[in-house]
């Protein structure tokens, strides 16, 4: 590696900032990483708690389609630094990757901490320096970056170029709290409001359902909204419903609620039985059994699925009048969702720095020499490794963009 004279500041020691630091330090720049937290990668570590799903093994075209309306923006970055490159990067740090049964890709150790340790060691070898407990608060009139420590002491830092990777605003106690939005808006940089993504939703349950089923999963069901349908699990919470199948539909559900004040989600509580087969089962004689016992015995439904069905029948008993209409209800149980859970509880954020605020190199048009990457940009994706891959790929693109800009100056 040939050293150059470029001094780079990166704000945010999450996966986006650290990936950019590696690319830039690897190209010979002096890189200083600043973060408001006392240690790096807090959300990355949390993401690894249930298994660090860093990317997905599906075909690239299908992978890129997961970025929805932003696919034509994020797609080229993913092509330039695709899932295979991410796996190779991980393996070069000494951590093999494995593909789970659903096609999701994990480091062999499953958790983030061993990978983060190796990564920080590598960054140390490349000469990257770290400055923790430093909150970035914007620029002064001389264009220096303003950092404040926990005691209120202010530092001004000058750099040849800077890269912001400040994340969204979910799980703010892990460091990314979205406070940067007001700083950028003040600089007239367009930012779309941060909104919950991959989140649960409020449902008005009965007292009885809350008492009996809070924290319990509805296993093996199919959730449908509009033309999208997802097989998976959901969890009843005191205020509503969350879990993998709900997260997968959450952007469309959130947008519908924003437009119409509510969204109707349909749950198929017996997805392995066709409507006809379920109707046949419900045509068996009830023989004086309670409806709950009958549904359990005849339709093989779980207690929580039965209670969800009863919840709807209490409001409108008509579907119980015939086996066919009862089966239709069980196959498409309507749940009225009234609001997404708060952004703090969401897995990720939608919104962020608007695409038109950046040039093709991920540089802020209003702030030449300042680049941005990761979850703080206005794209969203479902869980399944798409969030981290999008973060890594945009960070790679922004770091490459910065190198081009520095060389062309
Ligand atoms: C519980 C949970 C599980 C997840 N699981 C997965 C998963 O399995 N797979 C997946 O793909 N994604 C997952 N994600 C999402 C993924 O972790 C994020 O998309 C990713 O961390 C975003 O990276 P980033 O670098 O853009 O931002 P972040 O990781 O949020 O890092 C931003 C950094 O910037 C710092 N910062 C913010 N503001 C300032 C400031 N003003 N001054 C200084 N520093 C600042 C923060 O302290 C933080 O360290 C999960 C998220 C959560 C919450």
- pLDDT (tens digit per residue) in 163-215: 999 999 999 999 999 999 999 999 999 999 999 999 999 999 999 999 999 99
> Atom of ligand 1 at shortest distance to CA of 13?
49
Pocket test for ligand 1, best of 11, 14, 185 (most atoms within 8 A of CB): 14
**344 membership: H or E segment, kind and range:** none
**Nearest atom within ligand 1 for CA of residue 51:** 8
What is the CB < 6 Å shell around ligand 1? 11-17, 34-37, 42-44, 46-47, 52-53, 135-136, 165-167, 170-171, 175-176, 179-180, 347-348, 374-375, 385, 387-388, 391
| Domain map (residue ranges) of the chain | 7-197+348-408, 201-340
Question: Of all protein residues, whose CA lies closest to atom 14 belonging to ligand 1?
Answer: 47
**270-277 mean pLDDT:** 97
Helix (H, G, I), strand (E, B), or coil: what is residue 56? strand
pLDDT band at 334 (very low <50, low <70, confident <90, very high): very high
CA of 41 to the centre of ligand 1 (A): 7
How many angstroms separate the CA atoms of 32 and 296, rounded?
61
Contact between 197 and 346 (Cβ < 8 Å): yes
Rounded mean pLDDT of the chain? 97
- In the predicted model, is pLDDT for residue 2 greater than 90? no
Residue 59: other Cβ atoms inside 10 A: 10
- Per DSSP, the three-state class of 274 is coil
Task: Note the pLDDT tens digit of each residue in 81-133.
Answer: 999 999 999 999 999 999 998 999 999 999 999 999 999 999 999 999 999 99
C-alpha triplet 247, 252, 255: angle, nearest 5°: 115
Q: What is the Å distance from ligand 1's center to 47 Cα?
A: 8
- Atom 30 (ligand 1) nearest CA: 167
Structure tokens at 89: 């990067």
Decide: residue 83, CB within 10 A, 0-12 exposed, 13-18 middle, 19+ buried. Answer: buried
**pLDDT tens track for 233-264:** 999 999 999 999 999 999 999 999 999 999 99
CATH 3.50.50.60 fits 7-197+348-408, yes or no: yes
Q: What is the mean pLDDT of residues 354-376?
A: 98
Count Cβ atoms below 10 Å from residue 186 Cβ, excluding itself.
10
């Amino acid at each position: 590696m040939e050293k150059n004279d470029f001094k780079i500041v990166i704000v945010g020691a999450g996966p986006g900032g650290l990936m950019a630091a590696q690319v830039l330090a690897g190209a010979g720049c002096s890189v200083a990483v600043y973060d408001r937290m006392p240690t790096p990668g807090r959300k990355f570590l949390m993401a690894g708690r249930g298994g660090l799903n860093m990317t997905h093994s599906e075909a690239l075209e299908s992978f890129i389609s997961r970025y929805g309306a932003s696919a034509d923006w994020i797609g080229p970055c993913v092509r330039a630094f695709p899932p295979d490159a991410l796996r190779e990067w991980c393996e070069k740090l000494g951590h093999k990757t494995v593909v789970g049964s659903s096609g999701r890709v994990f480091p062999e150790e499953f958790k983030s901490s061993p990978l983060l340790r190796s990564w920080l060691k590598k960054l140390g070898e490349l000469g990257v320096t770290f400055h923790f407990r430093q909150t970035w608060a914007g620029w002064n009139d001389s264009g220096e970056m303003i950092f404040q420590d926990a005691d209120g002491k202010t530092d001004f830092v000058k750099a040849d170029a800077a890269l912001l990777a400040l994340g969204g605003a979910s799980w703010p106690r892990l460091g990314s709290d979205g406070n940067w939005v007001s700083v950028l808006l003040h600089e007239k940089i367009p930012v779309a409001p941060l909104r919950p993504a991959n989140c649960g939703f409020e449902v008005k349950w009965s007292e009885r359902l809350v008492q009996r089923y809070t924290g319990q999963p509805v296993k093996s069901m199919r959730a449908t909204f509009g033309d999208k349908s997802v097989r998976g699990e959901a969890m009843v919470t005191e205020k509503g419903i969350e879990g993998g199948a709900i997260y997968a539909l959450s952007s469309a559900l959130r947008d519908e609620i924003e437009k119409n004040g509510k969204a109707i989600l349909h749950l198929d509580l017996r997805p392995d039985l066709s409507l006809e087969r379920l109707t046949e089962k419900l045509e068996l004689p009830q023989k004086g059994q309670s409806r709950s016992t009958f549904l359990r015995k005849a339709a093989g439904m779980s207690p929580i699925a039965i209670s969800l069905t009863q919840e709807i029948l209490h409001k409108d008993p008509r579907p119980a009048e015939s086996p066919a209409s009862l089966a239709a209800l069980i196959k498409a149980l309507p749940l009225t969702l009234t609001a997404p859970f708060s952004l703090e509880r969401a897995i990720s954020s939608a919104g962020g720095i608007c695409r038109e605020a950046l040039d093709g190199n991920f540089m802020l048009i209003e702030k030449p020499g300042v680049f941005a990457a990761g979850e703080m940009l206005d794209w969203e994706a479902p869980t399944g490794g798409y969030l981290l891959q999008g973060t890594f790929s945009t960070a790679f693109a922004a770091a490459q963009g910065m190198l081009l800009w520095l060389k062309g100056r």
